Amino acid sequence: MRVYLTGATGFIGSRVLKQLLGAGHQVIGLTRSDAGERAIAEAGATPHRGTLDDPASVARGAEQADAVIHTAFDHEFSRFAENCEKDRRVIGAMAAVLKGSDRPLIISSGTAMGATAPGQPAVEQTANYNHRLPRVASEQAGRDAAEQGVSVAVMRLPQVHNPERQGLISPLVAISRAKGLSAYVGDGTNRWPAAHVDDVALLYRLAVEQHEAGARYHAVAEEGISLRLIAETIGAGLGVPVRSLAPDAVGDHFGWMSPFMALDMPASSAWTRERLNWTPTGPDLISDLNAMDYGRVEVVG
């Protein structure tokens, strides 16, 4: 296939690029920079210039492809809600190009969109289009595209990690270093799911090769790791104390991350594993947190 890959130089997308090329696919990779163009060309793919702030420029890449995998996202989490709306617009622009064809469009979202009852793992069969997290915008855009006749599937992501990056946990490490304290909320038993980046990249490839319109996949290797264990591991790595915070102290300590810190977000991938014959083999989250170089973590305000 000729696959258009957004985010082709990003943390996840660069691994998806390798997966696709290694399986013999041709790839058109979206980039916003000269350096990105060079990296994509050197990898053996065709660069396409565009930016998420200009959805039409992104959509033009889809015109040339047999399938689209959309991994690009603006990861400035302090503007999370704004960036989720940006993602909605980008998905809409690509959907307009693909409308009326059977060409697959795989978009990305978060596992929390599959939440059912409190304390129960999110599942692929559930789509909560009224979820309070802003990332619901991506799934709403996917639903709208499907209603227009686009062949859409959704890849829901947990905390995707290796020893360099770990999703929302990376800014949490930076906050802990800046504050000199690794903290969690209450008893810290709330959980976040996780998966190694290489396992996630493989799943994107399997999803496009075995495309199923309307499918929702959970790229989850670990159903849920407690925030207390995560905080304790960060504390050990940074050499700072670990402490529980009362709810009224959360805002001052975590800033923009406060809305995430007490969320219990376990997620199952049982259906995904069976459907795509996917078996994660990468290191677990705590192993990668133990292996990271805490001296290179950037301080945030």
pLDDT greater than 70 at residue 25: yes
245 and 289 in a common domain: yes
Q: CATH number, domain at 10?
A: 3.40.50.720
One domain for residues 82 and 173: no
Using pLDDT thresholds of 50, 70 and 90, give the confidence band for residue 77: confident
- Whole domain around residue 178: which residue ranges? 163-193+224-266+284-296
Is it the case that residue 75 has pLDDT exceeding 90? no
Q: What is the pLDDT of residue 76?
A: 85
| Rounded-to-integer distance, Cα 17 and Cα 5, Å | 7
pTM of the model: 0.96
The Cα 93–Cα 300 span in angstroms is 34
As for how many domains the chain has, the answer is 2
CA distances from 270 to 36, 153, 216, 276, 280 (A): 36, 17, 12, 10, 12
Residue 297 is predicted with a pLDDT of 57
What pLDDT, in 10s, does the model give residues 287-299?
999 999 998 755 4
Could you tell me the two tokens for 249? 């102290």
In the Cβ-directed half-sphere of 95, how many Cα atoms lie within 13 Å?
A: 24
How much is the average pLDDT of 147-167?
A: 97
List, for residues 251-273, the tens digit of each pLDDT value.
Answer: 999 999 999 999 999 999 999 99
Residues 217 and 183 in one domain: no
Taking all residues of the chain, what is their mean pLDDT, rounded to a whole number?
A: 95
Do 127 and 233 reside in the same domain of the chain? no
Residue 279 maps to a domain: no
Return the higher-pLDDT residue of 197 and 119: 197
Please check whether residue 145 lies inside any domain of the structure: yes
- Domain co-membership, 78 together with 52: yes
CA separation for the pair 242, 89 (Å, rounded): 41
70 belongs to a structural domain: yes
Same domain for 59 and 152, yes or no, is: yes
The pLDDT value given to residue 301: 35
Write the pLDDT tens digit of every residue in 42-74: 999 999 999 999 999 999 999 989 999 999 999
SS (H, E, C) 215-228: CEEECCCEEEEEHH
301 within some domain:
no
Domain co-membership, 11 together with 137: yes
